[in-house]
Amino acid sequence: MPPTVDEPHRRWWLLPTGFVLGLALASLPPSTSGCVYHDTCIKVTSPGHDWCRNLALAKKWPIGSSFDDAESILRPDGAAPRGCRCYNDAEHQIFSDEAPECRLDAFLAALEQAAREECQSLVPPGYDHNCWTTAGSQASIAEGHFRQGDGACIGNCEYGSPPAGGSCPNPSPYECADGGGTDGNDGGCASEGGSETGTTDSGLDETGSDTSAGVTVEVDGFVSCDDQDCEIDEAFARALQADPTPLLDQGAVLVYDPGLQRHVLHGVEPGSILHALGLRNRDRLESIDGLIIHDLDSALRVYTELAAAEALTVRIKRGKQWLDLTYTLVP
């Protein structure tokens, strides 16, 4: 746990460092990841579960010809079209228990939808298809569901290293991350009054801006970069330090590569904060202010030593090129 710093207004992390190091605590047991929250708790996550359905008897035929001329629609590997979604541990249990029935039915419908969407995406221009035909002799058939393996979403999470005299959150799998399952529902079913237990709040306001936990993430005006040198608005960074949920919910993860003994960044989307800060998918994190990040202990050490920093240099490797990105807080 990072130590207390005498000046409270300087205890929060410089934006990119706090997020990057939080992601970098991914060198826990295989397929887990960890995040440092504020000055206290460490969040450890496990991967979700990919469940899938195949679409059998999917056919395509040249426009203007008949179904008699149809040929199978196949994926590049020769398999039938497949729809997969990632589910958290609680949702995974619904598949295993096949209950509650209403939730399982909704999951199966979502997998069928995904399979039919992939089927349509595999049809070349100039062809008709039966991807959305569900009845009759020309129907395509959604087969039974199956677990394919670990998924990209979060299955469950736990917190450790509570602050002195304090405690850490104890979230359910549905609270571990935005989009931890298909719809954020807590596993309940529709009541007699027609409402469904659990929350379906997407975290978006009417304009589509992320408003998770009351903090709207709008990068423009708060982050300004000139080549590899970035300035970050101090008030903006403070708001995210006070409640980092919107930042963490943007989906980026650092995956530990045991061969490289480094962390590799995935899930950086255009318009996200990390993208605005000059980071890209498959960037390899090397060091922060010259301190190498090669495992959990080194990440925690850097977190401790640089907790009060107001300007930092993050070294990454992008392809064969080394880049030094500098970040400075400005009033």
The model scores a pTM over 0.75: no
**CA–CA separation, 300 and 39 (whole Å):** 11
- Give the largest Cα separation in the chain, rounded: 79
pLDDT score at 292: 84
- Interval 303-330: pLDDT, tens: 777 766 778 888 888 888 888 888 888 8
Local confidence band at 49 (pLDDT 50, 70, 90 cut-offs): very high
Task: From 150, 173, 141, select the one nearest 51 (Cα to Cα).
Answer: 150
Instruction: Assess if residue 167 is contained within a domain.
Output: no
Q: Are residues 70 and 128 in the same domain?
A: yes
Local confidence band at 110 (pLDDT 50, 70, 90 cut-offs): very high
Q: Are residues 126 and 235 in the same domain?
A: no
Q: Are residues 75 and 26 in the same domain?
A: no
**CA–CA separation, 283 and 52 (whole Å):** 30
- 52-56, 85-89, 157-161, range with the lowest pLDDT: 157-161
209 contacts: CB under 8 Å, gap ≥ 6? 216, 217, 218
CATH number at residue 248: 2.30.42.10
Domain coverage including residue 98: 51-152
Best mean pLDDT range from 61-65, 206-210, 227-231, 278-282: 61-65
Instruction: Assess if residue 158 is contained within a domain.
Output: no
SS (H, E, C) the chain: CCCCCCCHHHCCCCHHHHHHHHHHCCCCCCCCEEEECCCCCEEEEEEEEEEEEEEECCEEEECCCCHHHCEECCCCCCCCCEEEEEECHHHHHHHHHCCCHHHHHHHHHHHHHHHHHHHHHCCCCCEEECCCCCCCCCCCEEEEEEEEEEEEEEEEEEEECCCCCCCCCCCCHHHCCCCCCCCCCCCCCECCCCCECCCCCCCECCCCCECHHHCCCCCCCCEEEECCEEEEEHHHHHHHHHCCHHHHCCCCEEEEECCCCEEEEECCCCCCHHHHCCCCCCCEEEEECCEECCCHHHHHHHHHHCCCCCEEEEEEEECCEEEEEEEEEEC
pLDDT score at 243: 64
Local confidence band at 160 (pLDDT 50, 70, 90 cut-offs): confident
What is the amino acid identity at position 236?
F
Please check the confidence at residue 208 and state whether its pLDDT lies above 60. no
Q: Are residues 115 and 228 in the same domain?
A: no
Please check the confidence at residue 101 and state whether its pLDDT lies above 50. yes
What is the amino acid identity at position 154?
I
Task: Show the tokens assigned to 105.
Answer: 């039915």
Best mean pLDDT range from 64-73, 158-167, 272-281: 64-73
Instruction: Assess if residue 276 is contained within a domain.
Output: yes
- Interval 168-191: pLDDT, tens: 778 888 888 643 333 444 445 544
How many domains does the structure of the chain reveal? 2
**CA–CA separation, 221 and 236 (whole Å):** 10
- 94-103, 105-114, 128-137, 292-301, range with the lowest pLDDT: 292-301
- 132-146, 197-211, 254-268, range with the lowest pLDDT: 197-211
In 10 A of CB 136, how many CB atoms? 7
pLDDT score at 9: 29
235 contacts: CB under 8 Å, gap ≥ 6? none
Q: Are residues 17 and 69 in the same domain?
A: no
Task: From 93, 101, 105, select the one nearest 156 (Cα to Cα).
Answer: 93
Q: Are residues 76 and 107 in the same domain?
A: yes
- Interval 224-268: pLDDT, tens: 888 888 888 877 776 766 666 666 666 677 777 777 778 788 777
Q: Are residues 27 and 55 in the same domain?
A: no
Instruction: Assess if residue 37 is contained within a domain.
Output: no
pLDDT score at 36: 43
Backbone φ and ψ of 155, nearest 5°: -80, -45
Domain limit, last residue, from 113, 136, 152: 152
Taking residues 55-79, report their average pLDDT.
95
Domain limit, last residue, from 136, 152, 168: 152
pLDDT score at 29: 37
Instruction: Assess if residue 123 is contained within a domain.
Output: yes
Taking residues 140-156, report their average pLDDT.
92
Instruction: Assess if residue 92 is contained within a domain.
Output: yes
pLDDT score at 232: 83
- Interval 5-30: pLDDT, tens: 333 223 333 445 455 544 444 333 33
Q: Are residues 207 and 277 in the same domain?
A: yes
Answer with the residue of higher pLDDT: 294 or 38.
294
Q: Are residues 277 and 306 in the same domain?
A: yes
Q: Are residues 219 and 296 in the same domain?
A: yes
Instruction: Assess if residue 163 is contained within a domain.
Output: no
Taking residues 210-224, report their average pLDDT.
54
Please check the confidence at residue 1 and state whether its pLDDT lies above 70. no
Residue with tokens 């590049």: 76
Angstrom distances, CA of residue 285 to CA of 61, 102, 117, 318, 326: 49, 44, 36, 9, 14
